[in-house]
Structure 1
Amino acid sequence: MTTTLRHEGKTALVTGGSRGIGQAISRRLAREGALVAVHYGYNHEAAERTVKEIEAEGGRAFPVHAELGVPGDADTLWEAFDRALADRGAQPGVDILVNNAGITMPRPIAQVTEAEYDRVFAVNAKAPFFIIQRALDRLRDGGRIVNVSSVATRVAFPAIVAYTMTKAALDYLTLSLAQELGPRGITVNTVAPGYTETEINPTLSIPEIRQRYSQASVFSRLGTPVDIADVVSFVASDDARWVTGQWIDASGGVHLGV
């Protein structure tokens, strides 16, 4: 465990919390004292592995299954969350909600089909909207909502246009919710990664692309999931109580000179 248990006594839900950035966020929040619901859509083994890793580090976690991007996904997620808390004898409700789950769409506009467009919006934009909507009665006053977006919403990146549109929608949701939920002491912020070492980006296996993406950062390297998790943990903590409605660049200074 870390010496700073700034999330002690809190309950967190991390969507897409079993792999990549989501896994790093789940582990970081748990190390700092939170009881973490590790959401997964398909890979039960990855979720169980993440929970076991958290428990081995002295933390507390449990898996929650719900496929996103299908009708009723938000209700399925929260019903599973509620049941899991009850089974553990934990108090109902949530303090920290991290909307991290997402899928990519690496195609320029001319190649995107209607079905692909609908799918990426269903998972990346519609699901978080209704997950938050259903969370409002569960989210405790003084809580935290963190939406994981992308630095791509601030630059032209035609190769992933549909994906980036979904993240831009999430950016606006942050802004609107921050004003609406402020009277309850709830902060809402966006954390926007840049080029990060995760399996969601298969092009990183191509040496030329990997080098170009690394050189886009002022630190001349790719980001890691832990880099992003550290920022999310801060935003989710009481240390960030005076920060809301913000788009926080966690890209390692990508494209600063552009």
Structure 2
Amino acid sequence: MATTPIALVTGGSRGLGRSTALALAAQGTDVVLTYQHNAEQATAAVAAIQALGRRAAALPLDVGDSRGFPAFVQRLREALAATWQRERIDFLVNNAGIGIHAPFAQTTEAQFDQLVDIHLKGTFFLTQALLPLIADGGRIVNLSSGLARFTMPGYAAYAAMKGGIEVLSRYMAQELGPRGIRVNVVAPGAIETDFGGGTVRDDAGVNAAIAAQTALGRVGLPDDIGPVVAALLSPGMGWVNGQRIEAAGGIHL
């Protein structure tokens, strides 16, 4: 691994992705982040990383459209050559995603397909496309959810995708092991962000109900999660592989 590792963080311009990117920068990692629409937000995230003394770049990517992955890989190659004079990344964080809240009986096929494309198909085929660019001995962190362990009405489809991510991650760890690539999962609990329309952050009743079910007595914040992902990518965690780390403050113990 090069002296200064490089991480690719999908959805790194806001929320958990931004927190992850900044936590990685703080521990000495350069960052390429992706964004879907908001270039201004991405530029601000790059500036925040640079303010920590690290190099950074932002690239557009729709993780829900696998047809765009070959072109993205080429853009990433060009960014690595231009900014780092390198051909490989060391870390991949599959973070980008959306939340859809709908009761099981009312979930539409279109909603289901959108979640598949973004969370499951996107993670599967983007990682596959990036394999030639991930250095041997590198690491991958896939984002799951506490909802893959416990249930909350209205998240059947979303949680099913995250359950798939957890199984996929174990297979990735097994099959990429010969290259020394470690693959782990971070499963956040409810977090105060704009995710899923910002319900957890903005609905005081929902927030209080979740806090009451959590051992630490509050809902999570983005900066509760980013450092966990960064920790899994730190030098001392190299023997952790194929594991699911839930970062949820002790909800539903």
TM (norm. structure 1) is: 0.93
Alignment of 1:1-20 (within 5 A): 9-20=4-15
Superposed CA deviations along residues 217-254 of structure 1, whole A, max 9, x for unmatched, are 11111111111111111111221111101011111111
Choose which of 222, 234, 257 in structure 1 pairs with 2:231: 234
Q: Helix, strand or coil: the match of 2:211? A: helix
C-alpha distance 233-154 of structure 1, shift in aligned 2 (>3 A): same
Q: Name the structure 2 match of 1:115.
A: 110
Q: Name the structure 2 match of 1:212.
A: 209
Choose which of 149, 154, 174 in structure 2 pairs with 1:154: 149
| Structure 2 residue identity aligned to 1:211 | A
Superposed CA deviations along residues 89-108 of structure 1, whole A, max 9, x for unmatched, are 42111100000001111001
Q: Do the aligned partners of 2:20 and 2:226 also contact (CA within 8 Å) in 1?
A: yes
CA displacement at 1:8 relative to structure 2: 5.2
Q: Helix, strand or coil: the match of 2:184? A: strand
Superposed CA deviations along residues 113-144 of structure 1, whole A, max 9, x for unmatched, are 11111111101111110111012111111100
Q: Which runs of 4+ in 1 moved over 4 A?
A: none
Q: Distance in 1 between matches of 2:71 and 2:132?
A: 16
Identity %: 40
Question: Are 1:203 and 2:228 matched, yes or no?
Answer: no
Q: Name the structure 1 match of 2:246.
A: 249
| Structure 2 residue identity aligned to 1:232 | V
Q: Distance in 2 between matches of 1:64 and 1:25?
A: 16
Choose which of 114, 131, 134 in structure 2 pairs with 1:139: 134
Extract unaligned runs of 5+ from structure 2.
none
CA displacement at 1:66 relative to structure 2: 1.3
* Alignment size in residue pairs: 251
Question: Are 1:223 and 2:220 matched, yes or no?
Answer: yes
Structure 1 range deviating more: 185-194 or 234-243:
234-243
| Structure 2 residue identity aligned to 1:66 | L
Q: Do the aligned partners of 1:20 and 1:225 also contact (CA within 8 Å) in 2?
A: yes
Q: Do the aligned partners of 2:213 and 2:251 also contact (CA within 8 Å) in 1?
A: yes
| Structure 2 residue identity aligned to 1:150 | S
| Structure 2 residue identity aligned to 1:16 | G
Q: Name the structure 2 match of 1:77.
A: 72
